[in-house]
Amino acid sequence: MLVTLLIATSVSAEWIPPKDGMTIVLTDEKGRTLKGFSGDYEIQVQVDVATPSGIKTLGHYRIKRSGFWKLDTTRGIVKVANLRKLLPSISEEKRYGVRISVWVIDRENGVLYRGIGSTLLSEKDLQGASKRVNIEILEKESLPKPNHAGWYHYEWRPAEDSWEAEDYVEVPLLIIDNRDGKGKLQGSISLRADYKTEFSATLAYGTNLEAKFKGGDPVKVLSSSVTIYGKKWVPVEGHYYFGDIVDVPKGNMGYIYILAKPYYRHEKEYICAWGMGAYGCSETGRERIDVGIYDVKASKGVNGYIIDGGSSLGSPDFDRTFFRFTKESLQHPLTANKGITLAYMFQAIGGKCGVKFGIGIPVGAIAVAFGAPAPVAGLAASVQYEKAGSVTIDGTIKENGPSVMIHAFKSSQKYKFKAGWFSSCSAEIPMGFYVKSS
């Protein structure tokens, strides 16, 4: 009886979050405690968080298998302390994202698994919170042998070419090319605060990307070098209002934008060893690219928060390599003075899968304008409602003039992402969102 009580007390204590910190309970895709796949394994974890000043690493953690023989009592719990040092406060309308990278080291079978999961933090969570985080296994390979004996761990480190916008910049949500049009083309887009708007990141995994991205055709290099995963974590979300209209005369381009802080995080995987005379870290060759938005500029209105933004004539201030990563997906005739909704176009372009991604916003192309390699221009983050797929972002395209043909574009690469609790899909996603007339 006493032993049972002590065990129960120990387990419950593990779940209690530290003050100003959080307890992360790792689970598999079926909601069960994350464990290894043999009798000899350990789980290594890296925790990063989005903050108003960029993406910050909170720490690295190790979960050793517990139990004996076939009885595995590993609980998959990580405790993160001192959140307020990196994230002192969060405004009431938003939540910031936590990205959890996982390595499952199966020594018995000689296999290394890489996975990722995420959660979100509100102002209330900074007082102490417990989070259950689903981990999705993305990669599996033979377990490399360390160069030296001793204990070692894996970690992701940002490369020197990584970039984060220090100030708010224009991030296009809708791009209209009316240079071949016949009359004025009008576009509008709006967000509703009764739904949470998520700014989701996109990750691309590959090997030796730094070398591969230095030359060749950017479109071919990207498609042959990486696997692209959309919506793997949400750096920032909130209840926001936003709306704007742009009138684009024939012979011109125009766009609608929000003010946000995009980022491009090029990360390299390292294996770090110490003990038994072995110290230091070395690259494994695995790399990944993470693009997204880590903060948006918003002001408090009478009935909620309003994202700052606007509209402008001309081409957006990003690298024009972006347009090479798009391909035509939809043609729709507009008769004189008629319009079409963005929701219709999203559904026609992406289908049931792609529409869940939302709008592919050109974060990669913005990063290339600030020095990232050209293939990054093909990577888009996304903006969508939390109920993506059941509710789509509002807006229209309207022709104020003679009949015209509208062309809408999607990505030239497929993005893999979860479409529900137990389902995933792969689709070419609405890109830009870029619309052209002819």
Least-confidence region, from 203-207, 224-228, 303-307, 347-351: 347-351
- Tell whether the torsion through CA atoms of 275, 279, 283 and 288 is positive or negative: positive
**Position 307, amino acid:** I
Least-confidence region, from 48-62, 222-236, 387-401: 387-401
Residue closest to 323 by CA, chosen among 366, 359, 377: 377
- Tell whether the torsion through CA atoms of 372, 373, 374 and 380 is positive or negative: negative
Neighbours of 372 (CB within 10 A): 24
Contact 76, 59 (CB under 8 A): no
Contact 148, 276 (CB under 8 A): yes
Flag whether pLDDT at 125 surpasses 50. Answer: yes
Can you name the residues that pair with 341 across neighbouring β-strands?
396
> Mean of the pLDDT values across residues 8-22?
60
pLDDT in tens, 415-427: 987 655 556 788 8
Residue closest to 185 by CA, chosen among 242, 227, 248: 248
Q: What is the pLDDT of residue 389?
A: 63
pLDDT in tens, 280-295: 888 999 999 999 999 9
Angle CA(341)–CA(347)–CA(353) in degrees, nearest 5? 155
Q: What is the pTM of this model?
A: 0.91
Beta-carbon contacts of 85 under 8 Å, excluding residues fewer than 6 positions away, are none
The tokens for 3 are 């032993």
Q: What is the pLDDT of residue 3?
A: 38
Strands of 386-429, DSSP E: 394-400, 404-411, 415-420, 423-427
Q: What is the pLDDT of residue 147?
A: 56
Beta-carbon contacts of 327 under 8 Å, excluding residues fewer than 6 positions away, are 409, 410, 411, 412, 428
- Residue 14 pLDDT level (bands cut at 50, 70, 90): low
The tokens for 236 are 């920032």
pLDDT in tens, 164-216: 999 999 999 999 999 999 999 999 999 988 889 999 999 999 999 999 999 89
- Residue 4 pLDDT level (bands cut at 50, 70, 90): very low
- Residue 76 pLDDT level (bands cut at 50, 70, 90): confident
Per-residue CA distances from 370 to 108, 169, 227, 263, 319 (Å): 46, 12, 24, 10, 9
- Residue 315 pLDDT level (bands cut at 50, 70, 90): very high
Least-confidence region, from 87-101, 133-147, 245-259: 133-147
Flag whether pLDDT at 73 surpasses 60. Answer: no
Distance CA 51, CA 223 (A): 31
- Residue 275 pLDDT level (bands cut at 50, 70, 90): low
**Position 364, amino acid:** G
Provide the pairing of β-strand 404-411 with 326-334.
Answer: antiparallel
